Amino acid sequence: MKLTFMGTGTSQGVPVIGFDNSGLDLSNKRNWRMRSNVHVEAGGRHIQVDAGPEFRIQCLQNRIDWIDLFILTHGHADHIAGMDDLRRFCDRLASNRLPVYSNEYGLERIRAMFPYALGDAPTQRGYPCFKLAPMPKMLEIAPGCRVHSAPLPHGGIETLGLVFEEGEKKLAYFCDCKLLTREAVELARGADLLVLGALRLAPHPSHMSLEEAVKFADIVGAKVSYFTHMTSHIDYGVGEGRLPKGCHLAYDGLALEV
C-alpha cells in the first residue's frame, strides 16, 4: 500500500494569510502546508481521502490522475471544499459517477454544498457526479483489501477514523480528532504506519496537540507514526528534531509505502 500526503496543514493552511509567521522557517518547503488530505493506493485501487480547497493543485503536483472511490472523513470546509474538482475523476470513470462515502454529517454537508452532483448521471458532460453511501464499519475494496472505519470525537461532531488493510499490511489515518477511542486503538494496533492529526503545541478542544498525538502513537505502537494537520506554530525543523524515535512530522508531497 502507498499513502501520499497531499496536504499536511490545518484549516487555514500554513503560512497563514495576514499573520506573523516569524516562528516558521519559510525557506524550508516543508513548512508550506496545504490543507490536509491523503491519497491511498491499496489492492490496486486508488482511494482519495478528503479534498480541501487546494485539491486541484495537489492532484497536479502529486500526479494523481485516477480515483476509484472517495472517502470524506467529515464535513468541515478544509476537507470538503475541493470536492467539485472530483469532476475530472468522475469523467474518467466508465460510469461517470464516483462512489463517495462519509458519515451522516459528512453526507449532509455534501448534499448541501453540491446539490448539482447527486443525480444518477452528471448534469452536464464533465460535471461531478457522486454516488453517496454511508461509510460502513468495513468496506471491501478489492479481494483481500479492506477499509475499516471508526467514529472519533472532533469537537461537536464526529470524524471517520480509517484503517486500511491489505494482506498482513495495515495503515491507519486518524485526522481531526481529540482522542482515539478504544475501538480505534484496537483497529490500528500493530499498524505498519499510523497517521495522526497533531494541531499545535498547546491543547485544543477538538484536536490533539503534538504531545497528545505522541501519547496515542505510543499506545497504538505502530512501526512508524507521522503527524499531520499542523498549524504555523509547528516548525518542521524544530518539531521533527524533538520527536521520540519512530515519530515524524509529515510534509506535503511525502509518499510512504508499507
Binding range to Zn ion, per CB under 5 A, among 14-22, 117-125, 126-134, 172-180: 172-180
C-alpha cell at 10: 490545518
State in angstroms the smallest separation of the CB of 161 from Zn ion.
13
Half-sphere exposure of 119 (CA within 13 A, CB side): 9
Nearer to Zn ion, 76 or 170 (CB): 76
Q: Which of 67, 72, 63, 140 is nearest to 103 (CA)?
A: 72
Give 167-173 contacts, CB < 8 A, sequence gap 24+. Answer: 169/1, 169/258, 170/258, 171/1, 171/3, 171/40, 171/195, 171/258, 172/220, 172/222, 173/3, 173/38, 173/40, 173/49
Judged by CB under 5 A, which of 54, 158, 165, 176 binds Zn ion? 176
State in angstroms the smallest separation of the CB of 73 from Zn ion.
8
Nearer to Zn ion, 78 or 166 (CB): 78
d(CA 20, CA 234): 13
Binding range to Zn ion, per CB under 5 A, among 71-79, 86-94, 103-111, 240-248: 71-79
State in angstroms the smallest separation of the CB of 216 from Zn ion.
17
Evaluate the omega torsion of the peptide bond into residue 15 and state whether it is cis, within 30 degrees of 0: yes
Binding range to Zn ion, per CB under 5 A, among 14-22, 60-68, 106-114, 168-176: 168-176
Binding range to Zn ion, per CB under 5 A, among 61-69, 113-121, 122-130, 176-184: 176-184
State in angstroms the smallest separation of the CB of 12 from Zn ion.
10
Residue 213 φ then ψ, to 5°: -65, -40
Nearer to Zn ion, 176 or 212 (CB): 176
Length of the chain: 258
Our finding on whether 76 is near Zn ion (CB under 5 A) is yes
Nearer to Zn ion, 37 or 225 (CB): 37
d(CA 68, CA 227): 26
Binding range to Zn ion, per CB under 5 A, among 37-45, 119-127, 175-183, 234-242: 175-183
Which helix (DSSP H) or strand (DSSP E) does residue 248 occupy?
Answer: strand 247-249
Our finding on whether 158 is near Zn ion (CB under 5 A) is no
Our finding on whether 54 is near Zn ion (CB under 5 A) is no
- CB nearest Zn ion: which residue? 76
Asked whether the beta carbons of 232 and 199 are under 8 A apart, the reply is: no
- Chain residues that interact with Zn ion, rule: CB under 5 A: 76, 78, 176
